[in-house]
Chain A
Amino acid sequence: MLTISNLVKSFAGDGRSAAGRVFAVNDVSLEVGEGEMFTLLGPSGCGKTTTLRSVAGLEKPDSGRIVVGGRVLFDGDGVNVPANQRGLGMVFQSYAIWPHMTVFDNVAFPLQVRKRSQRPGRREIRERVAKVLETMELAHLADRQATKLSGGQQQRLALARAIIIEPPLMLLDEPLSNLDAKLRESLRYELKRLQRELGITSVYVTHDQIEALALSTTIAVMKEGNVLQTGRPREVYETPNCKFVAEFIGTSNFLRGKVVARAGECVDIETDAGRVRLESAAQVPVGEEVLAAIRPESLELSTTGWGNRPNEWPGTVTNRAFLGEAVDHIVRVGGLSLRVRGNPSVSIKPGTDIFVATEPSKVTLVPVG
């Protein structure tokens, strides 16, 4: 549906240095399938918003190619369709609701500004806007001044405006970041439901990994203008391909070590916490420095120990934190502190000696760096 190839966008630097160009997006290629909810995830300044704005036509990339549904929107060799002719929908971070218009006018605007030949009649506009407002549960507010809406209502209004023209692709730029936590969560599910129901291919930009995991069909993690990893949420979460991804998505325990043995996909490494066994298809030779990542919820605790597990280490609880739906224990194992997340019914006093274990399949090998 959306293909981005070798996209490059640089900005002038601070002007003092001669070289002076900052690469916001550096050779990014992405493929978004029909009906997907594709998320660009990364910290601020990673180039995710610039990528999105390039697709929207609000930034002019230096080079590369952007194709939506077979239509070339941008090509470094001469094509650059203006934003207003791309026919995409977009929801802005601030919603960019026009404060001088009513709810109805805001939504009707994209239809009203079409070329005369393609513009629907007055009645059709009214009907289509009414239908979209209905879907968004805003119908009763149609005549209200747009600024007099609550945060959630404004967010839905921005969405309504984006989908009124039934765009082939919808772009969402951190649309939930301005809302309070509770509203954010409910709207997250609302958004996912709508996206599924309407079947609109969407590109979603966020820095919130939970949002990305909950909403997306595919996540692309970006850092400093590059895509580090693309995959299904579970894939990215469970098998991060680098330390940055592992760290950025959820929390991970990192264990640095050296490969000491290898048999098929089964790799043994020696770390400060002891010997760790993991499963990896990667060709890592014995003697190689590696990094193993284990999610806190993949670690189990036992006061007695199991005695027969490949990854089982003795340790001491040093701290604990009650998180509501879970309890985190910090356990000192060898020279390392591991975070262990478990059922809230199990709470162990700091100072208690304890055993920690995990399955080799839950340990991910990430490239050092």
Chain B
Amino acid sequence: MATLATGAPGVLARTREALVRPRTLVAVATTAVVGYLALIPLVYLLWTTFSDAEGFSLGGFARAYGDPRIGGLVGNSVWFAVGSAVLSLTVGTALAYFNVRTDVPFKALFFAASIIPLIIPGILYTISWIFLASPTIGLLNALVEPVFGPGTFDIFTVWGMIWVEGLHLSPIAFLFMVAAFRSTDPSLEESALMSGATRVQTFRRVTLPLVRPALLSAALIMLVRSLESFEVPALLGLQNGIYVFTSRIYQVLRSYPVDFAGAGALAVGLLAVAALGIWLSNKAGGGHGGATITGKGFRPRPIDLGRWKPVVGAGILAYFFVTVLAPLMVLLYTALLPYYRPPSREAFASMNLDNFVAVFNLPSVPTALKNSLILGGGAATIVMALMAVAAWVVVRSGIPGRQILDHIAFSPLVIPGLVLGVGIAFVYLRSPLPIYGTLLILLIAYCTRYLPYGMRYAVAGMQTISTELEESAQVSGAGWWATFRRVLLPLIAPALLAGWVYIFVVSFRELSSSILLYTPGNEVLSISIWELYANARFGELSALGVIMVLILAVLVAVAYKVGARVGLKD
């Protein structure tokens, strides 16, 4: 670097040559697209936060953080986020470990358990938990009442919020950790066992450090995901006055004149917490334990659980019941009733299929379904394609300042959906390109919103691949593109597919920016869900939820099958 100053005659020519190399071009193009997508809402957010009619201002911060209750707000947010992250990571990691590494029974249930909670819209998932564990009407409370008395479980507490959010997030942690466990060499664990370590010691001292990059990546996502989670704090927290960042931002954005600066200041607070998280995870992940897929072959052999098998099996069944079956059953139950009421003879007698019929008769549903499929598939494909390259830039390229790309791609995660929507609308309303009012603007919004997830999946995948695999291709004469396409891409394909499925599924739920940006004829399914919710048509909403779960489960299964055919091994 210092040699630049000496001004050797070849420097300029060399720099120019380096710039037109294909890898540089692709890296720059990807960075440009990612930067463009992510910076529009970010800049918009910062601008509105730090300016008022007169120019630069910190009034938003004064209003947002001058509130005497801000301490409780931050405390609740962190408590809730850390608790949910810990719960989801613990559950997700344990399940992934059992699934990949042991002869645990009921492996078929894992697939359902890993996807279905993602598909159930957050509103419905939360409401189904109110029906299950509310102190007054909760079914679970009714079940245990003879033993423990009334109101054993109270879902309207921070612990209740952590429980619901943690369970709802655990499938993401599971998907992450499955990929990580699949790519680590079991002989490393076996050698620990041979050294006299117990299973638990082995897991703690060998297995966990090996999957640390993926674990950190997942922890970060879980943390930020729960920080920006909205449905759970809104539906469960407000009732007892438990405020977190998002529910406060929501409140600020709902009043007039809209205090964008105040909401922005809160969002900037979120951004700061998230940036701290990234920094910590980079620092913690920088040490060792990176490369795990080496060019040495290994055959994953399941560990015999022995006498623990029934115990673990029962645990798996319990998890499946709690995360999948119970909410789904509540959904189905609600969908079959004219209005919700606790189970009773009369309730079962009143069941019918009216809600399903009504859903199919909603005029916007077929269009919305089609548009959601297009947008989900499109956004998932675009984001994962971009992120495959971006992950390479961040993890492998060695380009100075490459971490910035990581930070930029992360920022949309903490920008409130409405602000993101307003920012995008602001730009494209003034753009000469006819994008405003088309499906394309929704696609742009979705791509922006899901960049961070794509980034995490791709980076985690990239980090598990030994650099020697890439270098050996280079030495074999492969240029950057050939190396990328023929070696890296197939190797990170499982991570890319996992990211694709995640984005595809969650994009069906995106509401806060969709609702501002859609135009008649471009409705998406989440708008239909919102309308049903706004009209208090919970029966039809549940019916639509059940239908969505079925459709998406089938589609995701097909995606995995196709993925397996194009050379993804498990």
Binary A-proximity of B260-298 (CB < 8 A = 1, otherwise 0): 000000000000000000000000000000000111111
- Which of A85, A90, A98, A161 contacts B487 (CB under 8 A)? A98
In the complex, the answer to whether B486 meets A147 with C-beta atoms within 8 Å is no
A residues 119-177 near B (Cβ < 8 Å) are 145-149, 151, 154, 158, 161, 165, 171
In whole angstroms, what is the CA distance A344 to B467 when docked? 47
In whole angstroms, what is the CA distance A90 to B474 when docked? 10
- Which of A89, A114, A154 contacts B297 (CB under 8 A)? A154
Given known A93-B468, A94-B468, A147-B297, contact A58–B474 (CB-CB < 8 A): yes
In whole angstroms, what is the CA distance A165 to B472 when docked? 14
Chain B CB within 8 A of A95 CB: yes
In whole angstroms, what is the CA distance A113 to B482 when docked? 7
Chain A residues in 8 Å Cβ range of B482: 113
In the complex, the answer to whether B475 meets A57 with C-beta atoms within 8 Å is yes
Most buried by A among B8, B474, B475, B491: B475
Binary B-proximity of A79-118 (CB < 8 A = 1, otherwise 0): 0001111111110111111111000000001100110000
In the complex, the answer to whether B477 meets A84 with C-beta atoms within 8 Å is yes
Minimal beta-carbon separation of B491 from chain A (angstroms): 6
A residues 337-362 near B (Cβ < 8 Å) are none
A residues 172-194 near B (Cβ < 8 Å) are 178
B residues 341-367 near A (Cβ < 8 Å) are none
In whole angstroms, what is the CA distance A109 to B14 when docked? 29
In the complex, the answer to whether A84 meets B479 with C-beta atoms within 8 Å is yes
Minimal beta-carbon separation of A129 from chain B (angstroms): 13
In whole angstroms, what is the CA distance A57 to B20 when docked? 19
In the complex, the answer to whether B469 meets A154 with C-beta atoms within 8 Å is no
Minimal beta-carbon separation of B470 from chain A (angstroms): 8
Chain A residues in 8 Å Cβ range of B14: 78
Chain B CB within 8 A of A197 CB: no
B residues 465-518 near A (Cβ < 8 Å) are 466, 468-469, 471-480, 482-483, 486-487, 490-491
In whole angstroms, what is the CA distance A53 to B253 when docked? 57
In the complex, the answer to whether B298 meets A147 with C-beta atoms within 8 Å is yes
Given known A92-B472, A94-B296, contact A113–B478 (CB-CB < 8 A): yes
In the complex, the answer to whether B472 meets A96 with C-beta atoms within 8 Å is yes
In the complex, the answer to whether A99 meets B491 with C-beta atoms within 8 Å is yes
- Which of B10, B295, B567 contacts A95 (CB under 8 A)? B295
* Closest chain A residue to B489, Cβ basis: A100
In whole angstroms, what is the CA distance A58 to B471 when docked? 7
In the complex, the answer to whether B486 meets A96 with C-beta atoms within 8 Å is no
In whole angstroms, what is the CA distance A78 to B13 when docked? 9
In the complex, the answer to whether B297 meets A83 with C-beta atoms within 8 Å is no
* Closest chain B residue to A93, Cβ basis: B468
Binary A-proximity of B285-324 (CB < 8 A = 1, otherwise 0): 0000000011111110000000000000000000000000
In the complex, the answer to whether A109 meets B476 with C-beta atoms within 8 Å is yes
- Which of B293, B475, B567 contacts A88 (CB under 8 A)? B475
- Which of A94, A110, A171, A178 contacts B477 (CB under 8 A)? A110
Minimal beta-carbon separation of B403 from chain A (angstroms): 15
* Closest chain A residue to B470, Cβ basis: A96
Chain B CB within 8 A of A77 CB: yes
Chain B residues in 8 Å Cβ range of A2: none
Chain B residues in 8 Å Cβ range of A219: none
Chain A residues in 8 Å Cβ range of B299: 147-148
- Which of B296, B298, B466, B474 contacts A84 (CB under 8 A)? B474
- Which of A57, A78, A84 contacts B10 (CB under 8 A)? A78
In the complex, the answer to whether A83 meets B8 with C-beta atoms within 8 Å is no
In whole angstroms, what is the CA distance A89 to B490 when docked? 23
In whole angstroms, what is the CA distance A89 to B479 when docked? 15
Chain B CB within 8 A of A269 CB: no
- Which of A77, A148, A171, A178 contacts B8 (CB under 8 A)? A77
Binary B-proximity of A215-236 (CB < 8 A = 1, otherwise 0): 0000000000000000000000
Chain B residues in 8 Å Cβ range of A82: 474, 479
* Closest chain A residue to B471, Cβ basis: A58
- Which of A89, A92, A110 contacts B295 (CB under 8 A)? A92
- Which of B13, B475, B483, B491 contacts A100 (CB under 8 A)? B491
In the complex, the answer to whether A56 meets B478 with C-beta atoms within 8 Å is no
Chain A residues in 8 Å Cβ range of B487: 98
In whole angstroms, what is the CA distance A171 to B476 when docked? 12
In whole angstroms, what is the CA distance A201 to B480 when docked? 27
Minimal beta-carbon separation of A131 from chain B (angstroms): 17
In the complex, the answer to whether B567 meets A100 with C-beta atoms within 8 Å is yes
Chain B residues in 8 Å Cβ range of A100: 490-491, 567, 569
Chain B residues in 8 Å Cβ range of A77: 8, 10
In the complex, the answer to whether B490 meets A83 with C-beta atoms within 8 Å is no
B residues 1-50 near A (Cβ < 8 Å) are 8, 10, 13-14
In whole angstroms, what is the CA distance A86 to B474 when docked? 9
* Closest chain B residue to A56, Cβ basis: B475
Given known A78-B10, A92-B471, A109-B478, contact A97–B491 (CB-CB < 8 A): no
Most buried by B among A57, A58, A95, A99: A99
* Closest chain B residue to A53, Cβ basis: B471
Given known A77-B8, A78-B14, contact A99–B474 (CB-CB < 8 A): no
In whole angstroms, what is the CA distance A147 to B490 when docked? 15
Chain B residues in 8 Å Cβ range of A147: 297-299
In whole angstroms, what is the CA distance A266 to B378 when docked? 85
* Closest chain A residue to B13, Cβ basis: A78
In whole angstroms, what is the CA distance A100 to B476 when docked? 16
Minimal beta-carbon separation of A141 from chain B (angstroms): 12
Minimal beta-carbon separation of A70 from chain B (angstroms): 20
- Which of B294, B297, B468 contacts A148 (CB under 8 A)? B297
In the complex, the answer to whether A84 meets B469 with C-beta atoms within 8 Å is no
In whole angstroms, what is the CA distance A110 to B299 when docked? 26
Chain A residues in 8 Å Cβ range of B480: 84
In whole angstroms, what is the CA distance A82 to B475 when docked? 9
* Closest chain B residue to A171, Cβ basis: B475
Chain A residues in 8 Å Cβ range of B473: 84, 98, 109, 113
Minimal beta-carbon separation of B186 from chain A (angstroms): 13
* Closest chain A residue to B10, Cβ basis: A78
* Closest chain A residue to B490, Cβ basis: A100
**Can you list 10 A-B pairs with a CB-CB distance of less than 8 A?**
A78-B10, A85-B477, A94-B296, A95-B295, A96-B468, A97-B297, A98-B491, A109-B478, A113-B482, A148-B297
Chain A residues within CB distance 8 Å of chain B = 56-58, 77-78, 82-90, 92-100, 109-110, 113-114, 145-149, 151, 154, 158, 161, 165, 171, 178
* Smallest CB-CB A-B distances: 7 pairs: A147-B297, A78-B10, A96-B295, A110-B476, A96-B472, A96-B468, A113-B478
Q: A86-B475, A97-B295 are in contact. List 5 more A-B contacts (CB 8 A).
A: A83-B474, A90-B472, A92-B295, A94-B294, A149-B297
